[in-house]
Chains A and B, each alone.
Chain A
Amino acid sequence: MSQDLETTEGALRGLRTEAPPSLAGRVLTETGLVDAWTTVRGPGGDLFIAHNPEGVSCVAPVGSLGEFADVHASRTGRRLGVEQELAARQATALRRVLATGRPGSLRIDLRGLTGFQRAVLAKTAEIPPGELRPYAWVAREIGNAGAVRAVGSALNRNPVPVVLPCHRVGRSDGSVGDYAFGRHMKRDLLRAEGTDPDTVDELARRGIRFIGSDTTLVYCHPTCRHARRITAAHRVEFRSAPAAAAAGYRSCKTCRPVAAA
C-alpha cells in the first residue's frame, strides 16, 4: 500500500492544532496591553489591583471585579486579563505601602498619563500619612498656581488611589471634600491614618485655615505634624496667610502654607 503525495500533504495538515487558551492572555499581559489583576487587603477594605511587567497600573477600593474592570478601563485604556498574583518583590513592596502609607519601592505603571498628571501625583505622594493639603497647595508646589481645577481633575482620575494618596488632598477651604470612590471612603482612609475628618471639617466650617504657635511664631496647615504638637495654651488660629503674617508669624518650612484662601 503506498500513499500518494496529496495524502502526505493531508497528513501534514493534520498536524495543525490550536494554541493553549491561556497563551493570548499571557502574551498581552507580558506586553502590557492587558493587565493581570489580583486583590489585597487594604486599610479601608479589599482593594482590586491591576498589574503588568511595568508595575501596578490601577488600584480601586471597589466591591466587585465588574466595577473594577470599568474603573481600570477608564483610567488605563486597557482591558483586564487573567487573575495573577503580584511578583514576590512587588507584593512585599505593596504590603509596605499599605502599612506605612508611603509609596516606597513599589513600581507603578503611569504610562498614558500626562506630565502634569504625573507631577500632581508625585507631589501628592510627598504628603505624609495623616496630613491633608488643599488642591491649591499642590498647584502652587508644582509651579502652576493657577491650575487648581486641573489638579482636582488629575486627582479624580488617579489610577492608583490609596497607593498614591489623593485622599490627602482636600478643598481649598480646608475641608476634606469629595473622593472618586465616595466621601465615606476618603474619611475612612484618613481616619485609618490617625486624622479625624470631622475635626478637619469643623475647623474649615469656622473659617480657620492655619494654626500657629505663639512660642515659635510659626503657622502651619492644621494637620501638619508641627501644628499637631502645639499645646492648647499656645495654639493660635488664623483665617488667612496675610492675617498670620500681620500678626508677626512666618510660614512653616515643612508644610509650606499657601497664601491663597
Chain B
Amino acid sequence: MTDAAGLAGALARDLDAAFPELVTTYQDRMYATALRLTRAPSDAEDVTQEALVRAYRALGGYAPDRIRSLQLRAWLWTILVNLVRNRARTRSRRPHDTALGGVEPAAGADPAGDAVAVVAVTNALGALRPVEREVLVLRYVADLPLDEVSDTLGIPLGTVKSHVHRSLARLRTILGEETR
C-alpha cells in the first residue's frame, strides 16, 4: 500500500502519471465503504466511479502545493460520503424505489462462507443511526484512522471516539440478540 503523503507528493508532481496509482490504491476501500452505506452494488459502483472522477477533476484545478498538503484519504472519503448522502436523499424522495430499504445479496467478492455473517452485520448496521453507521464504516471498513474519520465527517475527534465505543456496543448487542 502506498502511503497517502507519498501519493499526494506524486500527484503534485505529475497528476496524470500518479492518478492511476490513487485509483488502484483506494478503489477497493472506497467501493466497500459505498457498498456498506448504500447496500446496493450498482449504486456503490456508480458512486465510487463518480467520486474518483470528481477527485481527478478537482486535483486538476489545484496548485501543486495544495495537492501536496492534502489529507488525501479524508479528502477522498469526504467526496464519497457526500455522494452517498446525496443519492440516499434522492432515493428517499422516490418512495417506490426499494434499493435502500431492501437488502440485496452480499457482493460476489465475499467468500461464500462469509455471506451469512456479512448479511447479519449489514442488517445490524442498518439499525444504527446514520452518523453511527458512517463512523463505524469509515473506521473499520475504510480502515481510516480516527482523526481522518473526524476530518471526513466534520465531527470533533472526541465525539468520533465516543461514537465508535457506543456504536460498537450497540452493534454487539444487536448481533448478540440475533445469534441467541
Interface: B100 (CB within 8 A): no
> A8, A14, A24: which contacts B118 (Cβ < 8 A)?
A14
Is there contact, CB below 8 Å, between A15 and B169? Answer: no
Please name the residue on chain B nearest to A22 by beta carbon: B45
Is there contact, CB below 8 Å, between A3 and B175? Answer: yes
Cα-based distance from A1 to B121 in the complex (angstroms): 17
Is there contact, CB below 8 Å, between B32 and A8? Answer: no
- Min Cβ gap B17→A in Å is 9
- Min Cβ gap B115→A in Å is 10
> A3, A14, A27, A30: which contacts B172 (Cβ < 8 A)?
A3
Known: A1-B176, A5-B168, A28-B23. A19 touches B28 (CB 8 A): yes
Interface: B30 (CB within 8 A): yes
Cα-based distance from A17 to B117 in the complex (angstroms): 14
Cα-based distance from A4 to B52 in the complex (angstroms): 36
Interface: A229 (CB within 8 A): no
Please report which residues of chain A, range 1-51, place their CB below 8 angstroms from some CB of chain B when the two chains form the complex: 1-5, 7-9, 11-20, 23-24, 26-28, 30-31, 33-34
B122 partner residues in chain A, CB cutoff 8 A:
15
Cα-based distance from A31 to B139 in the complex (angstroms): 29
- Min Cβ gap A214→B in Å is 59
Please name the residue on chain B nearest to A16 by beta carbon: B32
**Range of interface residues on chain A?**
20 to 34
Cα-based distance from A17 to B107 in the complex (angstroms): 8
Cα-based distance from A34 to B24 in the complex (angstroms): 14
User: Looking at chain B's contact residues, is the secondary structure mostly helix, strand, loop, or mixed?
Assistant: helix
Interface: B163 (CB within 8 A): no
Interface: B180 (CB within 8 A): yes
> B28, B41, B176: which contacts A2 (Cβ < 8 A)?
B176
Interface: B152 (CB within 8 A): no
Please name the residue on chain A nearest to B110 by beta carbon: A17
> A16, A20, A26, A31: which contacts B141 (Cβ < 8 A)?
A16
Interface: B136 (CB within 8 A): yes
Is there contact, CB below 8 Å, between A8 and B168? Answer: yes
A14 partner residues in chain B, CB cutoff 8 A:
114, 117-118, 121
> B20, B56, B109, B175: which contacts A17 (Cβ < 8 A)?
B109
> A16, A31, A33: which contacts B28 (Cβ < 8 A)?
A16
Please report which residues of chain B, range 44-77, place their CB below 8 angstroms from some CB of chain A when the two chains form the complex: 45, 48-49, 52-53, 56-57
Please name the residue on chain A nearest to B171 by beta carbon: A8
- Min Cβ gap B164→A in Å is 9
Cα-based distance from A161 to B49 in the complex (angstroms): 32
- Min Cβ gap B57→A in Å is 7
Please report which residues of chain B, range 132-180, place their CB below 8 angstroms from some CB of chain A when the two chains form the complex: 136-137, 139-141, 143, 168-169, 171-172, 175-176, 179-180
- The winner among A11, A13, A26, A30 for most chain B CB atoms within 10 A is A11
Cα-based distance from A15 to B110 in the complex (angstroms): 8
Is there contact, CB below 8 Å, between A30 and B20? Answer: no
- The winner among A5, A19, A20 for most chain B CB atoms within 10 A is A19
Show the binding face of B for A, using Cβ within 8 Å: 16, 19-20, 23-24, 27-32, 35-36, 41, 45, 48-49, 52-53, 56-57, 107, 109-110, 114, 117-118, 120-122, 136-137, 139-141, 143, 168-169, 171-172, 175-176, 179-180
Which A-B residue pairs are the 9 nearest by beta carbons? A12-B140, A19-B31, A19-B27, A31-B56, A27-B52, A8-B172, A18-B109, A17-B109, A17-B32
